[in-house]
Chains A and B, each alone.
Chain A
Amino acid sequence: MTEIKPRISVEYVEKATIISFTDEKILEKSDIKALQDSIMSVVEQTERIKLILDFGNVQFLSSAVLGLLIRLSKRIYECDGQLKLCNITPKIFEIFKITRLTKTFDIYKDVESAVEDLS
């Protein structure tokens, strides 16, 4: 039996698409696949998407989610879009620092500052 849970919420603010993760923990492979499918469908529907990912609810993630973010960023940049991450808790931010993904992703304190910096 497949459990279908809301994994993301999507909001449109000015020129930006804001996706918030609704689950505290993004763990299992099935979760990650579902999450990727959900986000990709939003990306594919919007031309040159300006996407902001809000991690405010996320308390735990594994390297599989980092993989998802990299696949996602490649797709967005292929489509000439923009991707920004925000609201990352200190514990999760430490994972980004350890893996040096702070060099790869544009990370902002909150949604407002991420929106402001969109070109």
Chain B
Amino acid sequence: MNRRAGLFKPVNAVRLAAEDNWCWVVSLMVSKATINRSIVVKSRPLAIVGVCEQILSKLEANGFDKDDIFAVHLALEEAFLNAVKHGNKMDPTKEVKIDYSVGLDKIEISLTDEGEGFEPEAVADPRFGEGLYKPGGRGLLLINSYMDMVKFTERGNSLYMVRYKEKPPLTQRVDQVQV
């Protein structure tokens, strides 16, 4: 079975969908164990608590282990706070939209803020130089480290991220090469 043949559309389709106000979410094929939801919350840091509770409980229900739950929790927290702080500029009248799909093999999450977007490539690497001593700027690094796939829309105000329950069998491939 091709685990990567997921229920979400490919990333380029997500980009188009983002411009079409996410209408595609309702048209997703839904399998028995897959949970698809769309949440819109006020752009306040505390709103992440309810969002995390909702999403992480579904991960647990679908058999994701503690490492997966920890990783998704961290990435969600970082992505949401970036959306609230940098995207929506701490304006509580704005909103953050979260679309997610929890399947048996992977979780896909999209977060969209009302900001003007940004260029991820322009963000300084916090691991080197002065960045190492700055209080902020580590959120994106952690999202990239804990999720298996991270993509931004062209505008940069929408983030799509995926984490697979099982990783590609790299060790098996190495064994095969050795044989």
Contacts and interface: CB of A to CB of B under 8 A. Distances in A.
Are A and B interaction partners? Answer: yes
Interface of A: 27-30, 60, 62-64, 66-68, 70-71, 74, 91, 95, 98-101, 103-104
Q: Is the interface of A mostly helix, strand, loop or mixed?
A: helix
B23 to A, nearest CB: 32
Given A63-B142, A95-B74, 6 more contacts: A27-B49, A27-B77, A62-B77, A62-B142, A67-B138, A104-B133
Given A60-B73, A62-B78, A63-B142, A100 B132 contact: yes
Contacts of B67: 91
Interface of B: 45-46, 48-49, 67, 70, 73-74, 77-78, 81, 126-128, 132-136, 138-139, 141-142, 145
7 contacts: A27-B49, A62-B81, A66-B135, A67-B138, A70-B133, A98-B141, A101-B132
A71 B138 contact: no
Contacts of A98: 141-142, 145
Contacts of A95: 74, 142
